[in-house]
Copies of this chain bind each other. A is one copy, B any other.
Amino acid sequence: MILHAGLHRVLRGVRRWRGEGAGQPIPVDPELPASDWRHLATEIEATVENKGGPVAARRRAGKIGVTYESLTPGGRLRFFQKLAEDFGHEDQQVNRAMDAVFAASTREARRSAEDELRRRLRARREVLLRRLAGLDDGLPFLIGMRSELLPHRRRSPELTALDGEMRQILEEWFDVGFLNLERLTWDTPASFLEKLIEYEAVHAIESWDDLKRRLGPGRRCYAFLHPGMPDDPLIFVEVALTKDIARSLEPLLAAPTDPDHAAHAERDSDTAIFYSISNCHDGLAGVSLGDFLIKSVVEELAAEMPGLKTFATLSPMPGFRSWLVARADGDGALLTPEETAALGDGGAGIAEELDGLIAGPPRPPDDPLLSRVEPVLLRLAATYLLETGPSGRAVDPVAHFHLTNGARVEYVNWMANPSPVGWDRGLGLMVNYRYDLRTIETNHDRYISDGRIAAADAVRKLAEPPKADGGRIRRS
């Protein structure tokens, strides 16, 4: 592909709207009292009506944008509310358009009436939102705007609708067809890498040394970028290349004792472990990116390193603790009678200890209680992972994400992350979800249509209540 170096990218003055040389905000009180809203409404109206032509409309959108930025949080909420109320569609016009559809006597007439109906159903503010998105840096602006709207979107049906329109526009602009998959390395600009530190949501990056390690031998980091936001990742995933599926977190994050060894190990690896995946922008909530990122990276790695045979995650179970607590509160029956018996301790004692454990602070991995209840917690974890709610969705949100992608539950791992964070996200247990390209689509379809969860036999067995066998828990 040509990297048009001989083309001279020119200043995009038409779209400049912020900073030096750009327009001034509309003079409104930052709290946006009703009286000031009117000034803003006039400009919005002109934008929506395309007054002065599209270039003028775009410049006016910029003016509205900087005005929005001059508002306080309270002013911004009022802005959302007024925009939602005053720039929707007109019910009467919709009604008339529906009447016309019903009245149409020919196919042509009906199609034409439907076109009109579609137009009438469209909120007028959409024109403004699209103009804002089309400004230079309009995408990050709209993402930021939506992240500020999100906490309030349930306040009224109009705010919900406004949020839905924003999401719709962002979905169109952030279609995966626009995104570039980029590998991030230690050669990436520092200003960009800094953002990984900021955005990493799963396993915090402790320092630049830690970051360098995660980009070094035996590790990979990939991100989706949008050409309209080239300095900011949308989502990124961190990968470790290992021998066999990694079943505990510590070796993935620890500093390698020997970089030569790390390079050597990379050559011998047969497995890629996705140990962290972070969405970078709240404002993109509901815009699906993770599925494509994981599969793009799987394809990329498979092409680059033919030795890689297995692709899997090492994931937390963020809902496990609250599920246990709810279950314990509900009927107290965390333990089967057989387990209670096997644990020997007689009745309430062990059940109480277990209750304390699941609700309490992190325990050290060598806490004797832990080894006693290991079989019980493993059974409960497997049960939890295989459980679906009334809508057919897996109860664990991370499980739901990977199952929707077509992965299967492969292993449940004891004390895979005994850190406080790990305790919080699943009592130290972690799960491997495996991405097997041959079964990914079938898994997806079964899960989506029937709520059937793909899981390894061992996990299914793990979930079975143990049979009593002379006071000991026996597993086949």
Contacts and interface: CB of A to CB of B under 8 A. Distances in A.
Contact of A295 (B10, B55, B227): B55
Nearest to A117: B121
A182 interface: yes
A8 B118 contact: no
Interface in A1-48: 1-15
A91 B117 CA distance: 13
Nearest to A104: B91
Interface string A179-222: 01111111111111110000000000000100010000000001
A157 B108 CA distance: 6
A133 interface: yes
A337 interface: no
B291 A55 contact: yes
Q: Output the residue of A2, A134, A448 with the most chain B CB within 10 A.
A: A2
A130 interface: yes
A46 to B, nearest CB: 10
A157 B107 contact: yes
A91 B157 CA distance: 27
Given A10-B182, A183-B7, A441 B52 contact: yes
A94 B121 contact: no
Given A111-B157, A134-B177, A189 B187 contact: yes
Contacts of A448: 53
Interface in A61-100: 89, 91, 94-95, 98
Contacts of A3: 5-6, 230
B187 A406 contact: no
A108 to B, nearest CB: 5
A95 B91 contact: no
A444 interface: yes
Contacts of A444: 52-53, 56
A353 interface: no
Contacts of A164: 115
Nearest to A55: B295
Contact of A182 (B4, B191, B292): B4
B2 A192 contact: yes
A140 to B, nearest CB: 12
- Counting chain A residues whose Cβ lies within 8 A of the other chain, the interface size class is 35 or more
B110 A188 contact: no
Nearest to A178: B228
Interface stretch (A255-263, A296-304, A362-370, A455-463): A296-304
A135 interface: yes
Interface in A253-284: none
A157 B114 CA distance: 12
A417 interface: no
Nearest to A299: B13
Contacts of A56: 440-441, 444
Given A91-B110, A121-B121, A11 B300 contact: yes
Contacts of A291: 53-55
Which residue, A54, A95, A135, A288, has most C-beta atoms of chain B within 10 A?
A54
Interface string A412-456: 000000000000000000000000000011101100100000000
A374 interface: no
Contact of A5 (B4, B180, B212): B4
A171 B190 CA distance: 33
Interface of A: 1-15, 51-56, 58, 89, 91, 94-95, 98, 101-102, 107-108, 110-112, 114-115, 117-118, 121, 130, 133-136, 138, 157-158, 160-161, 164, 172, 175-178, 180-194, 208, 212, 222, 225, 227-228, 230-231, 288, 291-292, 295-296, 299-300, 303, 404-406, 440-442, 444-445, 448
9 contacts: A5-B6, A6-B6, A12-B296, A52-B441, A53-B444, A54-B288, A55-B295, A134-B175, A187-B192
Given A53-B291, A54-B288, A115-B161, 7 more contacts: A10-B296, A52-B441, A107-B157, A117-B121, A134-B175, A186-B191, A187-B189
